[in-house]
A and B are shown apart, each in its own frame.
Chain A
Amino acid sequence: MHVEVTGLNKRFGEFQAVSSVSFSIAKGQLIGLLGPSGGGKTSILRMLAGLETPDSGDIVFHGQRVNDLPPQERGIGFVFQNYALFKHMTVEGNIAFGLEVKKWSKAKIKERVAELVELTGLSGFEKRYPHQLSGGQRQRVAFARALAPEPQLLLLDEPFAAIDAKIRHELRSWLREMIDRLGITSIFVTHDQDEAIEVADEIMIISKGVLEQKGSPWEIYKDPKTPFVASFIGESTIVENIASLKGFQEAANWPGTKALIRPEYIEIGKENEFTLLSATEIGQVSHIHFRGSEWLVEIQIGDTKLVTYRSLEKDVLKVGDEVHVLVHRAYLYNEQNNWVMENALKADLLSVYI
């Protein structure tokens, strides 16, 4: 269903958990609420569910204001972080609970439960109790239970947090597929950016109760609207004195401007590896770490430290080696503004060294 939230506020005692958050979500989208722990993501989710009452602001589902509706009447499904399965009921009992509450007929309940057991790949486990299931299976039961009463909106609170890394990967793509197939509007909370980027149609970055940016994963990566978003998504190093780097002298025009440079914006190598040698800086390798599939290299240029990756296929660098460093672009920000600046020398074809 279509979800519209305007000016949502929530305060717990002295702590402002959520401050004037507004957004709208189109029907059938999968949205990831991403941000550091304790940033207010779960509070927003719980207010959408009706488990928490907002201090001010409107929550509108399908054009109807639901602020005063209890959770029972909102037509939502909620998957809890710890699954919150009913321990004394079997898998079947858990899935059927919402249907029994809604007074479905016995035959219809049986049919729907069988359908969901099939959908979530839990066939053969119907008679088991939650303590007899693995973490991934419990997660699926929680998912099936939330979906059973055919909710209009599915809310998931850190759905994969308690599952080990390997199975988490499988479950993620499984969830993505499942939601695509059902076409149900879904919102999930996570603090894991890989998860959000991989699964969500759109990401909402939330920090300290404020919605920093909403957009597709690619938009947020490419064009971060606030320094927080830029530093939170992907990896990056902060450079205090960006104007000292070749190609970014122009930055001196804006005093107090800092830069954020991602590892993938930087290229390093020996002299013969560059065609645009005039755009490169000379730096020294200060540390190298083996990262399993590549090298993580720290380079010192004057008093600036940069971090980048280097392919295992290229010559191995040693600490103390002199290398050429090409910074393709940097994300600049100051008190008033933020923008992406490309290396000015890269565009200058005349300086190509042959």
Chain B
Amino acid sequence: MLLRLFAQYSKPYKWWIAAVLLLQLATTMATLYLPSLNASIIDEGVVNGDIDYIWSTGGVMLAVALIQVVTAVGAVYFGARTSMAIGRDIRRSVFHSVAGFSAREVNQFGAPTLITRGTNDVQQVQMLALMGLNFMVTAPIMCVGGVIMALQEDAGLSWLVWVSVPILLVVVGFLVVKLMPLFRTMQDRIDGINSVLREQITGIRVIRAFVREPYETERFREANEKLTETGVKVGQLFVLMFPVIGLILHLATAAVMWFGGQRVDAGEMQPGALTAFLQYLLQILMAVMMGTFMAMMVPRAMVCADRISEVLDVEPSLHEPAAGPELPTGEDGAPRGKVEFKNVTFGYPGAEEPVLKGLSFTAEPGKTTAIIGSTGAGKSTLLNLIPRLYDAGGGEVLIDGVNVQALDRNTLSKAAVAVPQKPYLFSGTVASNLRYGKDEASDAELWDALAIAQAADFVRDTDGALDMPISQGGTNVSGGQRQRLCIARALVARPSVYLFDDSFSALDVTTDANLRTALAENIADATIILVAQRVATITEADQILVLDDGEIIGRGTHEQLLEGNETYQQIVESQMAAEEVA
């Protein structure tokens, strides 16, 4: 997956990558050439007492060092450029894919994991690309080049390379293999202790109310001990790493001196070549070590790449026409907004039973249609079909006689606007949030909407009023305020169809009542479809649909249903204490 991802996204940058490779090759060659030059200073210059040779070779070394730095900087330039561009492109693909998702796909993944995939996972892959181009490419070049150069200096000592490299690989590999699962355990333990602390902070009232501080302290002590224990274990292994690597390098050095000394003695090798060989061997071993450490990044990035690919591979279930028909308007040119469901069915993928089973109803402009039923009855699903967050599996959803699937997004979003169950605001200001549905809305329009939504007072009372900053998600205002701002946002858009999905739940009772009165007065012409948990919210609706198990099992006004519908009666009854009904 990781390779596929890289292969696909590095294609546009193949020339840049070629440049990186070329430059890295040049850098490595220059790096490797330096000890060889140093060797000839010793063997040619020092041994023969040739001072001029020493000076001229020194000049060559300087030139080589210069080439080395220039090519290295060049490699960094193209490496950074390529990896960041790959990261940018993958991030872009993820974002564009998710933006094209329907609610079905978003819910399948869940927003938090999509966010992690779009941010952190891409980051990881991008870092691997950077490290790969900067270091991982160099390691094999250095290895191969080092071996060639070492052989050139003295083939007779080459067996030292073949012995020391595998030993280093085995030892470092062994430690890494042992450490990796321990690191994971360590992370789990850290998560464990953090989750205990998180619970202690979020549940502080309950803990104190039940006087469970000692119990929590005990729980914490256990987690802390486990963490410390693992930490000590990881540490014990980890601190072995560098001394052991050091020892291997030093053993190799000693071996070169000893065996090299014998070869010099036998006249098979020059002393300068010996020092050069030593440096090459150390460079090879360092490259092997680097490569091994870099390889540790790969598994993590692979997981990230898999998670990214999962997102990119999804075929969105929603296809929107680029251009669709206009919606017909009324005689006065105003939009109408009649919503019709014709034998609509809907099932979630993988679910055995459909959520909606052949629903038909009509919601007329100027009327309020309320939907009630227990959790899981399909109320929210039904609402979501209208703005095409989901597509109906069978049957038709029509606005003013046009199937919503034929409409382009622009027309559809002007016609029907939803206030979702979970109120969500974007970072920005009150005004920027309110204008989300209508960029060109004037301040006066915003204030009107706020007034209807019972939010004008608190907005006016805060510093900045319409310019009051809103943090991401709207977490800097209370739940009730957030809900009212969401309602105001829908009102600014002035659609012909309003969809309220249990949108008054966080409001205190007075505000709720005032808001419903104001809505009735101000958006009298619009179609309102409203999902509610509580009977009180819907008693005045023109039409109430009782939904049970995906079917409409009753429709009519509050009074009609109270007389003739058993389920409705049950719901009403269940919401009142026994003595009140009696």
Partners in one complex: no
- A-binding residues in B (CB < 8 A): none
A interface vs B, CB < 8 Å? none
